[in-house]
Amino acid sequence: MILVAYGTRPEIIKLFPVVRELERTGTPFKTLFTGQQTDLYADVKDLVPAPDYSFAQHFSGADKHNTLAKSFIKICSAAEELFAAHKFTTVIVQGDTTTAWALAQIGFYNKIRVAHVEAGLRTFDLENPFPEEANRVLIGQLASINFAPTKGSQQNLKRSGAQNIHMVGNTVVDAVEIIRKEYQLASPETPSTVLVTLHRRENHEIMDQLFDELNRVANAYPALNFVLPIHPNPNVQKHRNRFTAPNMNVVAPVGYIDMLRLIASSAFLITDSGGLQEEASCFNKKVLIVRETTERPEIIDAGLGRLVGKEIYANIAWVLEQPAALAASPFGDGKSAVSIVKIISETK
């Protein structure tokens, strides 16, 4: 029996195409929601069936403040009990979350085959992003099957000594294509909106500077309408009143479908998100990456992304130039889930 494990919104987004393919092929599987993230996942939970197992109860009650260590311990403890009670042959994890690392670790201890979706992404800097870089490196070493999304990630895995590596593309392209068709998402001919998102832990200490920089950009470009769905993290929320530019619109967090609509209707993006770099490429949108490093260099190689650190204003001229014309996203062809399920079924 296969177990598909997820605990955050990005994991559901990138695993629901795999779940649909498991259903389509009649492959036996169960799903697990760890409860790692309950405030941002409600809008995507319907993309997957109701979970067969849930650890959400461990994240409720009086002790709602969870450090990285507390979350890891809670998930590991609950996973150990689950694996003792049920016999799984494979646990599928995605990306670099606490959920993915905890399930991979406990799966390994229980001699359950670990299949790592989106394996091999690297910045080679354990502080950026933190703790995700460490999580994905560790998972790659434990995994029995590593599904690399790109040639670069495949090479990273080979150099690290990881085993059973398959380059299959990124399931986010599958997800965007499915949703684009089901919700008929399209880009306007002359978009004037700029989507902005900032939330990464390594940017929390400079969030005030980043918000001031955004204010400067918005004042300098009054014809553009900046939309910032503000992250619920208090380290981000406390700076929201720094914006004074009339064309800087701070809104509540939006659901995933609405986020894709914003991407489709945007002229370009300003973000420190990893996933948005991939999703922007599906709509052929340029991205100013508010980070010092990226584990997705393909977006830069394709001419759609630029690392800007804190220097957002200085790079607006580049992003307003003619966009690169991509025939397809550098992250995949929308058939990743088919390959993943086929390989898992055929690999013993």
Which sequence positions are flagged as catalytic? 96, 118, 132, 199, 201, 231
Shortest CA distance to 279 belongs to which of 184, 179, 186, 173?
173
Q: Is the dihedral of CA 136, 137, 142, 144 positive or negative?
A: positive
SS3 252: coil
Shortest CA distance to 257 belongs to which of 177, 331, 183?
183
Omega of the bond leading into 131 within 30 degrees of 0 (cis):
yes
Number of residues that make up the chain: 348
Spatial separation of the C-alpha atoms in residues 91 and 342, rounded to whole Å: 15
Spatial separation of the C-alpha atoms in residues 173 and 171, rounded to whole Å: 5
DSSP count for the chain of H helices, then E strands: 13, 13
- What separation in angstroms does the CA of 167 have from each of 151, 256, 299, 343? 7, 26, 17, 11
Alpha helices in the chain (DSSP H): 9-25, 68-85, 98-109, 132-142, 151-160, 171-183, 207-220, 234-237, 256-265, 275-282, 298-301, 316-319, 336-346
Shortest CA distance to 116 belongs to which of 155, 158, 145?
145
Q: What is the signed CA dihedral for 337, 340, 343, 344, rounded to 10 degrees?
A: -110
